[in-house]
Amino acid sequence: MSDMMVEVPAAEASVAEGVLDAGDEQLVRALAGRASAGGLSLAGEGGLLQQLTKLVLEAGLEAEMSSHLGYDKHAVEGRNGENSRNGTRTKTMLTEVGAVDIEVPRDRDASFAPTTVPKRVRRLRGVDEMVISLVARGMSTGDVQAHLAEVYGTNVSRQQISDITDAVVERMGEWQNRPLDAVYPVIFIDAINVKIRDGQVANRPIYVALAVSCDGERDVLGLWAGEHGDGEGAKYWLKVLTEIHNRGVNDVCMIVCDGLKQLPAAVAQVWPQTIVQACIVHLLRASFRYASKADWAAIAKALKPIYTAASEADALERFVEFADSALGRKYPAIVRLWENAWAEFVPFLAFDREIRTVICTTNAIESLNSRYRRAVNARGHFPTEQAALKCLYLTTMSLDPTGRGRARWTNRWKAALNAFDITFDGRLSAGRK
């Protein structure tokens, strides 16, 4: 099967766009009625939709042949001419309604080059889009193959499915290098581990940066594959943040992370004014790792006055109280954890409640990562770095197809953005559209 595809012809495209006049609608109803009365199914093998698709494609091809030769089929003008029709050949097209066998007209000197169904093309564009959509929603190539065989009765190999999705690689490169806004109020950063076969299968970090624009819109800035064996590190984040800066981001008010060491120094090299905030939820989870599960509830209750304090001084008093308490003496590792993370923990205490609510956790990017992990786990491991990035890119492009999530996200950020504008002395104004 060729890797090429074809657009739906004009007659079919107009129907797809809902452009039907009264006569068209009457014809469609009549056909559906006759099919129902005759026991013909709408979809499936030999169904009405397959037959209509065959008729539309063949009609388009016949019209093109008439235009190419300069006369209609069976017209007297074609007798004893230099070129004429030379029968047909059967060709199987893969469409959204299954495999359809069509008769492609031929001419004697083989100069006919149709556009309705070009030479060496065996798929309509809608099939490619359907395959890409299924892969983007976490289905493996084997799952897509089984789905097409079960629903459409079409045999498509895993390699063909992979070739179809490879068509997005160029778009992925354009997306990864697109210009970005000059200013972002917040960028959430994190990394997920993906198994990539590089000689042998090994975990490699994929770095993700999720920004909130000055208009409150969510924007995934890019995906970067880290080096084998390095794990997530501040050194590679410096490379990522420098690339983001080179794509036009001149200022970031805050970066929220999971408490990675040496990251503040890396951020300061790119944006000296940017505040680095550790995720409070990650800090709490890290605290629980040092404690017995029976004490988790008590520890959470004891730590809450620290991160809900009105000021840094108040938070320090509450922390001292925790360190001197029975829980603090029982789990000195938790006390040491908070002491080491204090510099990245306290920045958000200086802000209003609206800002605290949105920056105290990386849940914004954690939900994105859960979608990524679902897609990654469906495949197990990837043959190449590009295959892994392609999978995550397709997942990114399939987020929120209805736009409802984007609207909820924007509404949730309105109060926080107003607070950011006041707190950061108008730095956001440069990023307003």
pLDDT of residue 1: 41
Q: Do the Cβ atoms of 20 and 28 come closer than 8 Å?
A: yes
Backbone angles phi, psi at 93, to 5 degrees: -105, 135
Residue from 376, 373, 378, 384 nearest 146 by CA: 378
Backbone angles phi, psi at 359, to 5 degrees: -110, -5
Domain segments of the chain as ranges:
10-167, 182-431
pLDDT of residue 221: 93
List Cβ<8 Å contacts ≥24 apart for 429-433. 430/182, 430/183, 430/250, 430/251, 431/181, 431/182, 431/183, 431/184, 431/213, 431/214, 431/251, 432/214, 432/215, 433/214, 433/215
- Mean pLDDT, 10 residues at a time, over the chain (433 residues)? 46 46 60 62 62 72 80 74 81 70 83 77 65 68 75 70 74 90 90 84 88 86 81 82 94 84 87 88 88 91 89 91 92 92 83 76 76 83 84 83 71 79 78 58
pTM: 0.67
pLDDT of residue 406: 72
pLDDT of residue 29: 65
Q: Which residues pair with residue 201 across a beta bridge?
A: 197
C-alpha distance from residue 378 to each of 104, 141, 147, 195, 383 (Å): 40, 10, 15, 12, 14
Per-residue model confidence as pLDDT tens digits over 208-251: 999 988 888 888 999 998 876 666 677 889 999 999 999 999 99
Other CB atoms within a 10 A radius of the CB of residue 27 amount to 12
Exposure of 297 by Cβ count < 10 A (0-12 exposed, 13-18 middle, 19+ buried)? exposed
